């Protein structure tokens, strides 16, 4: 179904709900979905509800007709007391508010599975609600989240086959897999790889993402520490990101780990950046060492869009992105020694790294461009509206 056909037959009132307000991967992915909906239904009235205010709101205001920030029943382990209250005593209030909003819309797009009130309220008019599943919860949390998604009877978009396999919902619930996409770079600057990496021109490794145990910042530090001293001198690492609510403790712990390993000259910690392009352009290779399976791995495709190969943990959605020895290296998850070996391989063969950069860019253009994602999202939402 083409965007023109959907514009004439599509919904006039579209509600999009998101749990964040920053510009991390899930936030930028949400913005892209709203932009895709606008492209598919240019005359629709798009209303966006955010649970948290932040820089995302200003970007959404350029696309949506209305953007509001409201208190939602968001399931956050980082704020267990608030989550417990909202999910018990406060739940009827949140459900009534969500039901009112859903009843006013022709299509409801719920981004991620942590927005409990909207997932529950979606059950009453399930024909109009779509949940975009972007996470693979841990085992105990999965028991709750999986049941909420099933209870909602909403249509489902998964961001990877790995996510779909983890949820394993019955086939009678309409569902599809649509990989995330990012906008192509007009003229992606390939890394200027030297003939030999030296202390003066080291291999530049970048890691971007929220500071969290499962993201694996500490594993990357372990991997660099496992290199021979002469190889450590030929590596420069930037770890870029912040914690949820900017809690300083995990950042301090990483800095202590760096100092204890004697890597303060090689490894730097930097706060989150709204625009990460400068980090990608600085790097030769991006590292995604996630300790738990990534539902997708947006940083990996962002790196590939900048013609940067990726060193990634071989599980979750990353297996659907990185082709081992072609667009980067895959290593056994949680194995610092094998991560170090992947870094050694990048150090040893700059010529191979140049070839990987071109292949990574080609893979991105063929599989992960935002144009491909927009077409697939609009097609699925158009079919949802026809049911």
The torsion angles phi and psi of 43, rounded to 5 degrees, stand at -95, 0
The answer on pLDDT for 364 being more than 70 is yes
At 76 the pLDDT is: 73
How far, in Å, CA of 328 to CA of 295, rounded? Answer: 19
* SS3 of residue 322 by DSSP: coil
Confidence of residue 83 (pLDDT cuts 50, 70, 90): low
Q: Which is higher by pLDDT, 108 or 386?
A: 108
Question: What share of the chain in percent tops pLDDT 70?
Answer: 95
The neighbouring-strand residues paired with 45 are 13
For residue 359, what are the CA distances in angstroms to 52, 355, 366? 38, 6, 11
Q: What is the pLDDT of residue 365?
A: 95
State the alpha helices, DSSP H only, in the chain.
3-9, 25-40, 55-60, 80-87, 91-103, 116-121, 139-152, 161-167, 217-225, 229-232, 249-260, 277-282, 298-305, 336-348, 350-367, 370-386
Residue 136 in this model has a pLDDT that exceeds 60: yes
Mean pLDDT (whole number) for 296-322: 97
Please say whether the dihedral angle defined by the alpha carbons of residues 259, 353, 289 and 205, taken in this order, is positive or negative: positive
What are the domain boundaries of the chain?
A: 3-181+369-386, 203-367
Q: pLDDT of 228-245, one tens digit each? A: 999 999 999 999 999 987
Lowest-pLDDT choice from 64-78, 159-173, 204-218, 248-262: 64-78
**Interval 2-51: pLDDT, tens:** 444 444 455 689 999 999 999 988 899 999 999 999 999 999 999 999 99
At residue 4, the pLDDT reads 47
CATH code of the domain made up of 203-367: 3.40.50.2000
The CATH class that applies to domain 3-181+369-386 reads: alpha beta
- Rounded to whole angstroms, the Cα distance separating 265 from 222 reads 15
Q: pLDDT at position 246, please?
A: 85
Higher-pLDDT residue of 63, 247: 63
The yes-or-no verdict on residue 373 having pLDDT over 50 is yes
Written as one string, the DSSP assignment of 95-128 is HHHHHHHHHT-SEEEEESS-BHHHHHHTTSSGGG
pLDDT over threshold 80, residue 88: no
Decide: helix, strand or coil at residue 39. helix
Query: Lowest mean pLDDT: which of 17-31, 71-85, 125-139?
Result: 71-85
Note the pTM of the prediction, 2 decimals. Answer: 0.91
- Fold agreement (3-181+369-386, 203-367): yes
CA 261, 267, 271, 274 torsion: positive or negative? Answer: negative
Tell whether the model's pLDDT for residue 84 goes beyond 80.
no
Which pLDDT score, from 0 to 100, does residue 78 have? 55
Instruction: Report pLDDT for 90.
Output: 85
What average pLDDT does range 376-387 have in this prediction? Answer: 90
pLDDT of residue 8: 46
**Model confidence at 338: pLDDT above 80:** yes
CA distance 171 to 328: 34
Q: Mean pLDDT over all residues of the chain?
A: 93
Quick one: pLDDT band at residue 77, thresholds 50, 70, 90? low
- The larger pLDDT score, comparing residue 175 to residue 387, is at 175
Token digits of residue 373: 């994602």
């Amino acid at each position: 179904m083409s965007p023109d056909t959907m514009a004439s037959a599509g919904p006039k009132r579209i509600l999009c709900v998101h749990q964040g307000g920053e510009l991390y991967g899930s936030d930028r992915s949400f913005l892209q979905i709203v932009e895709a909906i606008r492209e598919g239904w240019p005359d629709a009235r798009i209303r966006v509800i955010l649970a948290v205010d932040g820089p995302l709101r200003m970007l959404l205001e350029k696309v949506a007709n209305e953007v509001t920030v409201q208190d939602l029943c968001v399931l956050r382990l980082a704020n267990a007391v608030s989550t417990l209250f909202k999910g018990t005593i406060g739940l009827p209030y949140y459900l009534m508010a969500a039901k009112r909003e859903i009843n006013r819309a022709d299509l409801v797009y719920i981004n991620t599975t942590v927005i409990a009130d909207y997932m529950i309220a979606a059950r009453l008019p399930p024909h109009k609600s779509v949940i975009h599943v972007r996470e693979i919860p841990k085992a105990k949390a999965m028991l709750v989240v999986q049941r909420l998604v099933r209870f909602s009877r909403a249509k489902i978009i998964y961001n990877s086959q790995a996510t779909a396999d983890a949820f394993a919902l019955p086939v009678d619930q309409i569902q599809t897999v649509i990989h995330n996409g990012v906008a192509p770079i007009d003229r992606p600057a390939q890394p200027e790889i030297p003939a030999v990496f030296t202390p003066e021109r080291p291999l530049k490794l970048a890691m971007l993402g929220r500071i969290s145990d499962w993201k694996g910042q500490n594993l990357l530090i372990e991997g660099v520490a496992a290199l021979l001293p002469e190889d450590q001198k030929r590596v420069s690492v930037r770890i870029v990101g912040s914690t949820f609510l900017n809690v300083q403790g995990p950042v301090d712990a990483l800095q202590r780990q760096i100092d204890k390993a004697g890597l303060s000259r090689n490894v730097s910690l930097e706060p989150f950046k709204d625009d990460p392009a400068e980090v990608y352009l600085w790097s030769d290779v991006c590292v995604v060492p996630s300790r738990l399976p990534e539902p997708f791995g947006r940083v990996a495709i962002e790196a590939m869009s900048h013609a940067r190969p990726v060193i990634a943990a071989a599980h979750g959605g990353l297996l659907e992105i990185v082709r081992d020895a072609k667009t980067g290296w895959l290593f056994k998850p949680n194995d610092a020694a094998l991560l170090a070996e992947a870094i050694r391989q990048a150090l040893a063969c700059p010529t191979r790294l140049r070839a990987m950069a071109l292949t990574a860019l080609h893979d991105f253009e063929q599989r992960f461009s935002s144009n491909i994602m927009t077409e697939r999202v609009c097609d699925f939402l158009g079919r949802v509206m026809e049911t």
